[in-house]
Structure 1
Amino acid sequence: MSDIIDKGYAERVPTDDEPQTDGQRWYIPHHGVYHPKKPGKIRVVFDRSAEYHRETLNSHLLQGPDLTNELIGVLCHFRQEPIAFTCDIEAMFHQVGVDVKHRDYLRFLWYENGNLDNEPTEYRLFGATSSPGCVNFALKTTADLYEKDYGKDAADFVRRDFYVYEGLKSVREPSEAINLIESSRQLCQRGGLNCTSTYRTTRKSSIVFLQHNELRTYKPSTFVARTYQSSACWVCNGVESDTFQFRVQLKDKPLTRRGILSTVSSVYDPLGLVSPLLLGGRHILQELCKDGADWDDPIPENTMIKWEKWRRDILLLSSLKIPRCYKPNNFGKLKKAELHHFSDASHYGYGQCSYLRLIDDEDRVSSSLVMGKSRVVPTRPMTLPRLELTAAVISARVGAFLRDNLQYEDVSHTYYTDSNAVLGYINNEAKHFHIFVANQWTSGDTSIPRQIQQTWLREV
């Protein structure tokens, strides 16, 4: 709490101050929270959803537009080049001020200098439901205002590669990383935002490390003594090996529908890199729903056997390592980039996967899994051609998303399916579609049918 007050994120209310809000005030309760992986460090949590006479502060605030970048898009940028780094905005939600006439709605009580023998003192701070919208708007506006001073690369990094308060980026050369870090840090400072804690290793060549406004480059020999793991947007990333890994720590949950849902949901895989494995857990959960099992009913014995097997298999994810960068070691200058999208379906589930195929100037080829999606079939009966069509539509939407987010020039897209019915729908330009097919075409992005007809591989 002293840190919040000393840094100016909260102010003491003057004793002679009159409320600016027509005599109205709101006092926010607060408590401390310890992080299990950061012993000795406590974080202050202000409960802005606390009720008083059936009223809450957050219920009277507009949340604002969702200006947060998509996590999947940020991770795709993060995997493109060999040299990568991360950074974050220090105390981001405290960086945007509140109008003086509204600060009395953000009062709280605290003992001055931590002395519990004195009467509590009134303070005022910033932070509520509107904070994410405000700070993201401030961050992007800062990039727009100072783009001419610090360059388009720094402005694009601040605009496109931040997820909430954490930025992730990959570049071709260490010198490019250092220049981008320094220019983006200065750009953020012009907007009153402190960009700090920037670090990364790639291919064991060097580490770019920024802390306390000091920029350094560490050599591999220095890095050996600084081995640690970084958590980048909830995906555990092995810094030294430059790979994505999954930290699986399954808690003992009751063998009920509620416990199974909690365990399946605890494995967070935003890119869908282990979609086939997660599909098995979702299928078990769907079977319980079909059987009408209540949330806390014990699961049947045959389902228990399937669940225990899936639970043992999911623990093997801890040994899985997926290269962060799409390009392998010693990969030359990029000559051509291709995206290949595969979709398929069965009565067990349906889904798609997208691979990036890169060719360098020496005609060496590299292939990497970019992302995947898997779904259990709906509980209502559906024919296999309809499931195949649904998978094809998902594949087309993923392709449209990657077209906007992968920053390669002239990327070709090729779509694959083994369903003649889907190929017939794609090539149909004369007849009217059935209701189900028409709904697939028109739900969401109306340009998807034309995208599929123009880009799908028809010679399958």
Structure 2
Amino acid sequence: MDRETIKVRMVYDAAAKFRGFSLNDAISPGPNILKELFDVLMRFKLNRIAVMCDISEMYLQIELYGAEDKPMHSFLWRDLDVSIEPTVYEHQRVVFGINASPFIALTVAKQNARMNQVKFPLAADTVLNSTYMDDSLDSVKDERTGVELYKQLVKLWNQARMVPRKWISNSKRVLECIPIEQRAKSVDMALNKLPTTKTKGLNWNTEVDKFHFEVPEKLTVESLTKRNVLSKLSSVFYPIGFVSLVIILAKVLMQRIWETGMTWDEPIEGELGLKIPRMDFKLTVSEPD
């Protein structure tokens, strides 16, 4: 798993229907106010010093509104004892599984940034323009500004009773200003090398500040089917389009496979099978100085 910590996350099944109706059916998910991932990643690579963190249990820091909303988030519990009547409890905080939870969390984050924009201008700009759900990732021109951005983000998120954690940067000087317990676990300053980490689905080598794209397992002759080729092609995530020139070749071959009319699990043989790339490539993309 890519997660640094593996925890049990309670998910409220608000899509479960009772008599043909669910809680999510009665709630508007709200408008999409999530920043485009392309825009966020472009800002992240705009300047020399990159800084990234995520917010600890973001949803659970937001309290539901009193008597109007809490009863709608009720649940039953009897600790697996089927011989007793279940007790009715109410969630007090925003939970996973509600269709409006992402909108609520982002609205709180953005409103908090606007309210404190004068006091924490660097951090407010990052939250408003370079935060994707519970991840803040931005870049600045120099290390001094990177340290200042870290300090402001901590104070700004704390204004909303939220805690930024798992801090990582491509600057050792910035990381040295961050307490060890707040850094990403993969960061070990005793080593003479910064780690590779995941940022929004991309592998980011913080030591050399480069993105890596990898498909570790190649297709074998025995596994050449339309299903497997499409699965391998879909496994390459490239929101900025760095690898489009490579992937387009595979997409053209996928189109040719589709035109043959073969079934999903029919072996691909002959000349077409010989042309299919094994997709065992490893690409490294760096930005110009």
What CA distance in whole angstroms lies between the structure 2 residues aligned with 1:166 and 1:280? 33
Select the residue among 188, 197, 200 that pairs with 1:233: 200
Cα distance in structure 2, aligned partners of 1:180 and 1:36: 26
Residue 9 of structure 2 is matched in structure 1 by 43
1:255/1:91 CA distance change after superposition, 3 Å: same
User: How far 1:144 sits from its partner (Å)?
Assistant: 0.9
Is contact 1:257–1:299 with CA below 8 Å preserved after alignment?
Answer: yes
Distance 1:116 1:208, change over 3 A: farther
Equivalent residue number for residue 73 of structure 2:
106
Q: Is the Cα contact below 8 Å between 1:68 and 1:163 reproduced in 2?
A: yes
Aligned length: 278
Q: Distance in 1 between matches of 2:34 and 2:109?
A: 10
8 Å contact from structure 2 (residues 55, 164) kept in 1: yes
The aligned amino acid for 2:271 is N
Q: Which residue of structure 2 lines up, in the alignment, with residue 94 of structure 1? A: 60
How far apart in 1 are the matches of 2:135 and 2:38?
Answer: 14
Give the letter aligned to residue 242 of structure 1.
D
Q: Quick check: 1:316 aligned with 2:243? A: no
2:247 pairs with 1:278: yes
Taking the aligned partners of 1:86 and 1:37, their CA distance within structure 2 comes to 15
Q: Which runs of 5+ in 1 are unaligned?
A: 1-34, 328-460
Q: Name the structure 1 match of 2:102.
A: 132
- 1:252 Cα offset (Å): 6.7
Q: Is the Cα contact below 8 Å between 1:198 and 1:208 reproduced in 2?
A: no
* Aligned position for 1:428: none
Q: Which has the higher strand share?
A: 1
Question: Residue 146 of structure 2 contacts residue 174 of structure 2 at CA under 8 Å; is this kept in 1?
Answer: no
TM-score by length of 1: 0.54
Q: 1:154 aligns with which of 102, 117, 123?
A: 123
Which residue of the other structure, out of 39, 42, 63, is the alignment partner of 1:73? Answer: 39
SS at match of 1:43: coil
1:247 to 203, 209, 214: 214
Residue 273 of structure 1: how far off its partner (Å): 0.9
| 1:163 equivalent in structure 2 | 132
Aligned-partner SS, 2:170: strand
Contact 1:158 1:167 in 2 (8 A): yes
Cα distance in 2 for residues equivalent to 1:78 and 1:36: 20
Corresponding residue for 2:160?
191
Deviation at 1:182, TM superposition (A): 1.1
Distance in 2 separating the partners of 1:188 and 1:43 = 22
Q: Distance in 2 between matches of 1:62 and 1:93?
A: 17
TM-score (norm 2): 0.82
Asked whether the 8 Å contact 1:197–1:212 carries over to 2, the reply is no
Please name the residue that 2:261 is paired with: 292
Cα deviation code 1:75-129 (max 9, x no counterpart): 11111222211011111222333223222222334567xx979966543332311
AA at the equivalent of 2:116: Y
Give CA deviations for 1:370-394 in whole Å, capped at 9, x if unaligned.
Answer: xxxxxxxxxxxxxxxxxxxxxxxxx
Structure having greater relative contact order (Cα 8 Å, sep ≥ 6): 2
Q: What is the distance in 1 between the residues matched to 2:144 and 2:72?
A: 47
Overall identity of the aligned pairs, in %? 25
- Is the radius of gyration larger for structure 1 or structure 2? 1
Whole-angstrom CA distance in 2 between matches of 1:56 and 1:296: 38
Shifted more, 283-292 versus 222-231: the winner is 222-231
Letter of the structure 1 residue corresponding to residue 242 of structure 2 = L
Which one-letter code corresponds to 1:159 in the other structure?
A: L
**Alignment check: 8 A CA contact 1:74 1:160 kept:** yes
Q: Deviations over 1:328-371 (max 9, x none)?
A: xxxxxxxxxxxxxxxxxxxxxxxxxxxxxxxxxxxxxxxxxxxx
Offset of 1:208 from its aligned partner? Answer: 5.0
- Please give the root-mean-square deviation of Cα atoms over the aligned residues, in Å: 3.1
Give, in whole Å, the separation in 1 of the partners of 2:39 and 2:6.
35
